[in-house]
């Protein structure tokens, strides 16, 4: 159980809905993952088009929390307007705030991100900012009114996994009471387990599941990995050591001469 | 009146945003609209007056990560 902006979620996995082979596989993958929330977006509708209606009906049938995003927005104005449009269509004040700063890496424009976050928090949004692992930016986002932070662990869709574990550890240590969700860059269930072992509260991922040969199987694997990592964190992990320590008792060992 | 709808130029007669949506066969409560980069609520479309050169965005739910 995790609480985000006053809403309790049963699972610590949030799943994206893009790039699946079919709507049916998307629905089955979401169910297999036991995700508690799904991300969605807004895009241009064709005249007379019904694509949006069909997709929205599918998402509603899943009966999960919906986290709309501002993906593709490169300015504060774009992100703020998209967030307001999303609030109207999806009927939620949750928004995954993305203000992209670089076309190649899709890394966030953290300056625009903080500015947009302040505007949206003041307007009553529950902002989930897609950010870096920079502690100063994190502070600014909290000052702007964010109550959840979503640092990347690698570029979106890269599947690299945590490329800077030291920074993630530092972030966890600096903000012990802030829900931290690793968003973007996870490629394997072991990556998800690793960040959960570090004490992160949840993970958000999309491509690693959607582009797997078997998205449903991979979704299930990520769900298990998130649970395993969380339980391991709560159970107290053994610190690594340089020397061997026998696990079998040495007292009572027979001596043969 | 010249309007840009979802990035495409249109020459169309529509006094309000609601009339434009009807003329272009847009319908449904899953649509979100913006004019010149500002949200126009669904409840405001019938009274929202369009003018020459306006840029309209009509969006709907889509897959997202």
Residue B16, classed as helix, strand or coil, is: strand
The residue among A20, A29, A47 with the most chain B CBs within 10 A of its CB, best to mutate, is: A47
- Tell me the CA distances in angstroms from A230 to A173, A202, B31, B51, one per residue in order: 16, 9, 39, 56
Structural contact between residues A217 and A250, judged by C-beta atoms closer than 8 angstroms: no
Structural contact between residues A20 and A46, judged by C-beta atoms closer than 8 angstroms: no
Q: Look at residue A191 and tell me whether its pLDDT is greater than 90.
A: yes
Q: Look at residue B22 and tell me whether its pLDDT is greater than 90.
A: yes
**HSE-CB of A220 using CA atoms within 13 angstroms:** 6
Q: Look at residue A48 and tell me whether its pLDDT is greater than 90.
A: no
**Average pLDDT rounded to a whole number, residues A195-204:** 98
**Average pLDDT rounded to a whole number, residues A188-211:** 98
Q: Look at residue B59 and tell me whether its pLDDT is greater than 90.
A: yes
pLDDT tens, position by position, A79-95: 999 999 999 999 999 99
A77 labelled catalytic: no
The chain-wide mean pLDDT, for chain A, equals 96
d(CA A252, CA B23): 90
**Average pLDDT rounded to a whole number, residues A40-61:** 93
**Average pLDDT rounded to a whole number, residues A1-22:** 96
**Average pLDDT rounded to a whole number, residues A189-205:** 98
Q: Packing angle between helix A23-33 and helix A215-235, nearest 10 degrees?
A: 20
Question: What whole-number percentage of chain A has pLDDT above 90?
Answer: 93
Whether B59 and A43 lie within 8 Å, measured CB to CB: yes
Give the pLDDT confidence score for residue A51 in this predicted structure: 85
Eight-class DSSP state of B49: B
**Average pLDDT rounded to a whole number, residues A105-127:** 97
Q: Which residues from chain B sit within 8 angstroms of residue A26, using beta carbons?
A: 63
Pick the catalytic residue: A8, A50, A54, A96? A96
Q: Which residues from chain A sit within 8 angstroms of residue B34, using beta carbons?
A: 81, 85
Q: Packing angle between helix A135-144 and helix A110-122, nearest 10 degrees?
A: 20
Tally: H helices and E strands in chain B: 1, 5
**Average pLDDT rounded to a whole number, residues B26-42:** 95
Give chain A as a 3 state SS string.
Answer: CEEECCEEECCCEEEECCCCCCHHHHHHHHHHHCCCEEEEEEEECCCCCCHHHHHHHHHHHHCCEEEEECCCCCCHHHHHHHHHHHHHHHCCCEEEECCECCCCCCCECHHHHHHHHHHHHHCCCEEEEEECCCHHHHHHHHHHCCCCEEECCCCCCCCCCCCCHHHHHHHHHHCCCCCEEEECCCCCHHHHHHHHHCCCCEEEECHHHHCCCCHHHHHHHHHHHHHHHHHHHHHCCCCCCCCCCCCCCCCCCCCCC
Query: Tokens 């509708």 label which residue?
Result: A45
How many A-B residue pairs are in contact by the CB < 8 A criterion? Answer: 107
Closest chain B residue by Cα to residue A26: B63
Give the pLDDT confidence score for residue A37 in this predicted structure: 97
- Tell me the CA distances in angstroms from A183 to A53, A157, A212, A213, B7, one per residue in order: 27, 10, 18, 22, 31
d(CA A208, CA A63): 23
pTM recorded for the entire structure:
0.94
**Average pLDDT rounded to a whole number, residues A18-23:** 97
Q: Look at residue A49 and tell me whether its pLDDT is greater than 90.
A: no
A42 and chain B: CB distance < 8 Å anywhere? yes
Structural contact between residues A60 and A67, judged by C-beta atoms closer than 8 angstroms: no
pLDDT tens, position by position, A211-240: 999 999 999 999 999 999 999 999 999 999
Report strand pairing: B55-63 vs A37-44: antiparallel
**HSE-CB of A44 using CA atoms within 13 angstroms:** 10
Give the pLDDT confidence score for residue A257 in this predicted structure: 85
Beta bridge partners of A3: A8
Confidence band, pLDDT 50/70/90 cuts, at residue A50: confident
- Residue A62's Cβ-count burial label (10 Å; 0-12, 13-18, 19+) is middle
Pair of tokens at residue A123 = 């307007």
Residue B4, classed as helix, strand or coil, is: strand
Q: Look at residue A147 and tell me whether its pLDDT is greater than 90.
A: yes
């Amino acid at each position: 159980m995790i609480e985000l902006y006053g809403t309790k979620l049963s699972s610590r996995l949030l799943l994206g809905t893009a790039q699946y082979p079919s709507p049916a596989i998307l629905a089955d993958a979401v169910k297999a993952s036991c995700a508690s929330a799904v991300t969605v977006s807004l895009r241009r509708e064709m005249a007379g088009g019904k694509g949006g209606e069909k997709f929205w009906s599918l998402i509603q049938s899943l009966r999960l929390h919906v986290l709309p995003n501002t993906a593709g927005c490169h300015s504060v104005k774009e992100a703020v307007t998209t967030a307001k449009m999303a609030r109207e269509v999806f009927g939620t004040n949750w928004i995954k705030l993305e203000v992209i700063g670089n076309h190649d890496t899709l890394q966030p424009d953290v300056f625009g991100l903080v500015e947009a976050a302040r505007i949206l928090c003041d307007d009553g949004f529950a902002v989930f900012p897609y950010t870096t692992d920079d502690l100063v930016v994190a502070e600014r986002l909290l000052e702007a009114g964010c109550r959840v932070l979503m640092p990347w662990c690698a570029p979106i869709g890269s599947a690299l996994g945590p490329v800077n574990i030291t920074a993630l550890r530092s972030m966890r240590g600096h903000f012990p009471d802030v829900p931290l969700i690793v968003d973007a860059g996870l490629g394997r269930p072991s990556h998800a387990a690793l960040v959960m072992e570090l004490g992160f509260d949840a993970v958000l991922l999309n491509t690693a599941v959607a582009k797997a040969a078997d998205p449903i199987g991979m979704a299930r694997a990520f769900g298990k990995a998130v649970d395993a990592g969380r339980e391991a964190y709560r159970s107290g992990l053994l610190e690594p050591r340089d020397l061997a320590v026998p696990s079998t008792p040495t007292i009572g060992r027979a001596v043969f001469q | 009146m010249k309007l840009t709808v979802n990035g495409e130029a249109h020459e169309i007669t529509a006094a309000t945003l609601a009339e434009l949506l009807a003329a272009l066969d847009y319908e449904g409560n899953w649509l979100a609209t913006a004019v010149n980069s500002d949200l126009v609520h669904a409840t405001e479309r019938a009274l929202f007056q369009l003018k020459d050169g306006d840029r309209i965005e009509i969006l709907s739910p889509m897959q997202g990560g």
